[in-house]
Structure 1
Amino acid sequence: MKTSSFIIAAPTSNSGKTTVTLGLLRLLKNKGYTTQPFKSGPDYIDPKFHKIACGKTGINLDLFMMREEHLKSTYHELANKVDISCIEGVMGLFDGARKSEGSTAELAKKLDVPIIFVVDAKSVAYSVAPLLYGFKNFDPDLNIAGVIFNRVNTKSHYKFLEEACDDVGIKALGHVPFIEECKIPSRHLGLSIDNLSKYDQMIGKMADQMNETIAIDQLLSITQKEKTILEIEEEMSNSDFKISVAQDEGFNFSYYQNIDALKQLGTVKFFSPIHDQELPDSDLVYFPGGYPECYTQELSSNTNMRDSIKNYAENGGQIIAECGGMMYLGKSMIDQKGNEWSMVGVFPFTSSMKKMKLTLGYRKIDMHDFTIKGHEFHYSKVHDDENVETIGTVWSAREQEVPTKIYQHNTVLASYIHFYFGEVGDLQQLLHHLQNNHVSSVKR
């Protein structure tokens, strides 16, 4: 059985990948197709836009954090359930952590999917030909199946671009005009998830426009391929092992694969640190990142929940907390205005949003008994953590040691790093470490 699969890529960031991806997802939905979106890299925001566009959250595919076979099985298992698979790439086509390692180009080759190239043509006409020629021929193993030109407002302009495609040997699949009210905002920490729904109408308008100017049937035809048949392993889960996952306005940055791994380990229940009054009965609690800095007053005022979590932690409860989750487990949080809000107090440090400075990058964490990978992206900073026990050594994608800390208190593990434990084996190793090594934590 055949399906259409493709990856949206571009020469550079800010070429219009997200705009085109969202418009295509909505257009395909309007035409009655079932589509599974994916996102290259560790992004949490674009997958939420994907859900607004087509009803399905984008699934992260990351060559640094995921083993190749795990990445392929994740992709094919979900792709086999739908008519169309659409992957939104990241940055420029060949931009990776080290040259093109982990780039959109490498992902396209690993999954053997064709590329739909998005080019911002606002200030270029026939001169796009050598650009396309270069990208087409730089890596002959890539299949750039077609091009969509962004910010093209006239037929005469598009004609030059079509001619360039003809001479280079790449199919021109249409163009998207610049529409002021259809601009996608910059995706960064601090963008309220509550407000994302307001872009539904904008995405609809973009889809209507693309229906007029994009050769959608041709796009689907040139990206058809046979579905990959997988051997499905039977999942084993201990229903008596109770796992609670924080999920609300403040905590919503979690990888699909992480949650799936938790479900394979036990029974998962979601709870809200903002709205619920106490922690559910739990054998493990997972606090993913999110926007707790946007809800400091609500989190601070919910003293019943704070007390419940601290009591759980002080009595041997297992917790994994990442970024915003780590900030919530600290003594307090300082917002951008300088107001300090009391938090759970499992750790004695304070996190602050004042004097914001971006820290980001892939991370590899070497514990003394195993290695786990993740990604760091935050603007806040931790203060008063000098006497907090830390474990492990943290490295960048380029194997340079970085000062990011992994805090541990009893069986509570917390860090700015968003851990990737999408394979059950990685999660089991992490829990084994918590259960057996909390006494031997060392101070840096």
Structure 2
Amino acid sequence: MNQKPQFLIAAPSSGSGKTTITQGLLRYLKNKGMHVQPFKCGPDYLDTKHHAWAAGNVSINLDTFMSSSEHVSNIYNKYSTDSEASVVEGVMGLFDGAKKMEGSSAQIAELLDIPIILVVNAKATAYSVAPLLYGFKNFYPGIKIAGVIFNFVNSESHYQFLKDACEDVGVTPLGYVPRNEGVNLPSRHLGLQITDATQYDSIIEKIASHISKTVDIEKLLEICSTPFQKQLQTTPKTKGNLKITVAKDEAFNFTYHENLSALNQLGEVSYFSPLQDEELPETDFLYLAGGYPELYLKQLSANVKMREAISTYCENGGKVLAECGGMMYLCDEIIDSKGGSYPMLGILKQKASMENMKLKLGYRKVIVDNQEYFGHEFHYSNLMEAENEFSIGEIYSARNKKMDTILFRKNNVVASYVHFYWGERNIMDLF
């Protein structure tokens, strides 16, 4: 058993700056020549993309609602085995879960037995952070708050009050980050924008440089260096022989890395672009992932050859899983926020509309044929004239409230607003 820095970056609430600080730390460690493994608590499929940019290494979702605790422990161990440091970014506030602490960052830190670095927005407070730190340190004995980074602190004198609070509570102060408009991450369509790589890389470099001036990163690594047990080698699973095709371009890219790994176990995976390509590869299973089809409506609609190729595949009984944006692509048309209509595949005789946008999000439990599947819903669009007669199964929230979200099955096409997680099961069971 060896020692390595491994920690979870959390905050009392969203908006504290943990995402910015996480990406700065990832890039700082990468620039030091360290092989750093990033992770993200929860179902977010965008932060993982930005982690990968910052660390130069794929980022993995850890989610104890959508998957078992054993699965979370196994994939953390699997991807951390060859790393020199493992950095987990939390979700929302430290104790915020699907229900109380269930699925929270705190639960995952306890499961993995790793220390927590708390990021606190101290913009409008000083010594009053003492009771906040005391509460987070002592509320739940199953976790360890190893240190604190204070965000939005513009002077050493302000920081001194915060250090006093840390000393009285018994938490290690690791420094502070002054406000700097030049290191703000760009806003996004659904969170953080997948923007120009060169521009984004420049911002991450600035963040890394900015935080390293006033945060004691070496001290952070020292106090978070804890025992790590390498994963034992396991016998590889037998690989299947399916031909699997995955949509992947600017319009369709919301995927979980472990989902793709599971597909690779089922056969040979190839990728194509509904935006650019005109032919669909020969396939036994087509995965239309979620994404931003509403930003590329004209281009998607104009690619008639691809629309016809996928439609023909569906009409001939081809197996398809379409999630959120992928489901919208299967509709007769997508209507933009201004009421403009764009013809799509026409497999589902309904319309997807961006008019009167309203956010709908949350964990989902899907029950089909007495089997449970888990996933997440996150969209602003809505369905018009939905083909309810093709609805199957039942969909519930994390608190077991029945939802009006529909899971469609039409021939061998399965489609829904739900983004499924199948890292530890065979998604082909849906068919």
TM norm structure 1: 0.94
1:340-359 superposed Cα distances (whole Å, 9 cap, x missing partner): 11111111111000110000
Q: Is structure 2 residue 171 aligned with structure 1 residue 177?
A: no
The alpha-carbon deviation at position 31 of structure 1 amounts to 1.2
Counterpart in 2 of 1:353?
354
Paired residues of 2:81 and 2:231 also in contact (CA < 8 A): no
For residues 171 and 197 of structure 1, the distance between their equivalents in structure 2, rounded to whole angstroms, comes to 36
The alpha-carbon deviation at position 240 of structure 1 amounts to 3.2
Q: Give unmatched runs, 5+ long, in structure 2.
A: none
Change (3 A) 1:330 1:72: same
Counterpart in 2 of 1:378?
379
Change (3 A) 1:280 1:37: same
1:410-437 superposed Cα distances (whole Å, 9 cap, x missing partner): 11100000011111xx22xx42341xxx
Counterpart in 2 of 1:325?
326
Specify the code of the residue in structure 2 equivalent to 1:350. K
1:165-223 superposed Cα distances (whole Å, 9 cap, x missing partner): 11110000111110012122444428652436422212211211222211111111111
Correspondence list, 1:130-279, <5 A = 130-189=131-190, 192-195=193-196, 197-238=198-239, 240-279=241-280
Paired residues of 1:27 and 1:210 also in contact (CA < 8 A): no
The alpha-carbon deviation at position 233 of structure 1 amounts to 3.0
- Give the count of matched residue pairs: 430
Q: Is structure 2 residue 41 aligned with structure 1 residue 24?
A: no
Q: Is structure 2 residue 14 aligned with structure 1 residue 13?
A: yes
Correspondence list, 1:15-164, <5 A = 15-164=16-165
The alpha-carbon deviation at position 254 of structure 1 amounts to 0.3
For residues 69 and 139 of structure 1, the distance between their equivalents in structure 2, rounded to whole angstroms, comes to 22
For residues 191 and 337 of structure 1, the distance between their equivalents in structure 2, rounded to whole angstroms, comes to 23
For residues 403 and 135 of structure 1, the distance between their equivalents in structure 2, rounded to whole angstroms, comes to 37
Specify the code of the residue in structure 1 equivalent to 2:46. I
For residues 7 and 194 of structure 1, the distance between their equivalents in structure 2, rounded to whole angstroms, comes to 26
Given the alignment, which residue of 405, 427, 431 partners 2:428? 431
SS of corresponding position for 2:313: helix
- Of the structure 1 ranges 20-29 and 206-215, higher mean CA displacement relative to structure 2 is found in 206-215
- Of the structure 1 ranges 203-212 and 18-27, higher mean CA displacement relative to structure 2 is found in 203-212
For residues 180 and 94 of structure 1, the distance between their equivalents in structure 2, rounded to whole angstroms, comes to 29
Change (3 A) 1:171 1:191: closer
SS of corresponding position for 1:311: helix
Counterpart in 2 of 1:298?
299
Specify the code of the residue in structure 2 equivalent to 1:401. K
SS of corresponding position for 2:348: coil
TM norm structure 2: 0.97
1:125-181 superposed Cα distances (whole Å, 9 cap, x missing partner): 111111101110111221000000101111111111111111110000111110012
The alpha-carbon deviation at position 81 of structure 1 amounts to 1.5
For residues 361 and 146 of structure 2, the distance between their equivalents in structure 1, rounded to whole angstroms, comes to 33
Identity, % of aligned positions? 51
Change (3 A) 1:361 1:197: farther
Paired residues of 1:248 and 1:272 also in contact (CA < 8 A): yes
1:17-46 superposed Cα distances (whole Å, 9 cap, x missing partner): 011101111111111111111111111121
Of Structure 1 and Structure 2, the greater strand share is in 2
Paired residues of 1:190 and 1:291 also in contact (CA < 8 A): no
Paired residues of 2:47 and 2:192 also in contact (CA < 8 A): no
